[in-house]
Homo-oligomer: A and B are copies of this chain.
Amino acid sequence: MAARTPDLRLIVVTDSALAAPHSISDIVAAALDAGAPAIQLRDKRATAREIVAQAHVLLPAIRSAGALLFINDRLDVALAIGADGVHLGPVDLTVEAARRITPPDFLIGYSTDDADEARRAERHGASYIGCGAVFGTTTKQEVGNERIGTARLHEVACAVHIPVVGIGGITPENVQEVRATAAAGVAVVGAVMRAVEVGDVVRRLLR
């Protein structure tokens, strides 16, 4: 577990396809301005070199906002650019393998909707759990698109001591249902990437 308690009330997960025609950096800047405490850079089709380049564009704004940067999947990129953490899913490095090569205060997120698997990830050094898809989703492939509902999210959040973040179909309209569970926060892709008013959506998600 990380030495600090990270602020994971809202993780904005990037998706350049959903963001188009806007750029990831414009959307991230607006989200940070509105108080988003964490950004996860995710682009499964990008090369390591491209992720590094994108991270270098985003990092100054993230640092000056005092926010956290997570990199999806590519732990090597995360470590090389000095990101705060990595987010791992079922086809990525295991938490155990990742923890072998990371400093103790480096954050490792892991996706699971299963309480036992969440407990195992915690034992192996995960810093938080991403749990979903809470309301189903059209944007996230890695964990499966099955709607798990808030009861299951609550169950997983109660199973571990590390923060659990709900993901999947979360919007300003349904976020209160998630806040009513033991989850520490929400991760959002589409609602922010496709927002007409990014700042407004972020503020409502944080409220």
Residues of A within 8 A of B (CB): 47-50, 52, 73-77, 79-81, 90-94, 97-98, 100-101
Contacts and interface: CB of A to CB of B under 8 A. Distances in A.
Contacts of A80: 75, 93, 97-98, 100-101
A50 B74 CA distance: 14
Contacts of A52: 93-94, 97
A101 to B, nearest CB: 5
A47 B92 contact: yes
Q: Count identical subunits in the complex.
A: 2
A205 B76 CA distance: 34
6 contacts: A48-B93, A49-B90, A49-B91, A49-B92, A76-B79, A77-B93
A1 B77 CA distance: 21
Nearest to A97: B80
Nearest to A44: B47
Contacts of A101: 76, 79-80
Given A75-B80, A76-B76, 6 more contacts: A47-B91, A47-B92, A48-B92, A52-B93, A76-B79, A79-B100
Contacts of A49: 90-94
A91 B49 CA distance: 5
Contacts of A94: 49, 52
Nearest to A99: B80
Contacts of A90: 49
Which 10 A-B pairs give the minimum distances between C-beta atoms? A47-B91, A76-B76, A75-B76, A80-B97, A79-B101, A48-B93, A49-B91, A48-B92, A80-B101, A80-B100
Nearest to A75: B76
Contacts of A50: 91
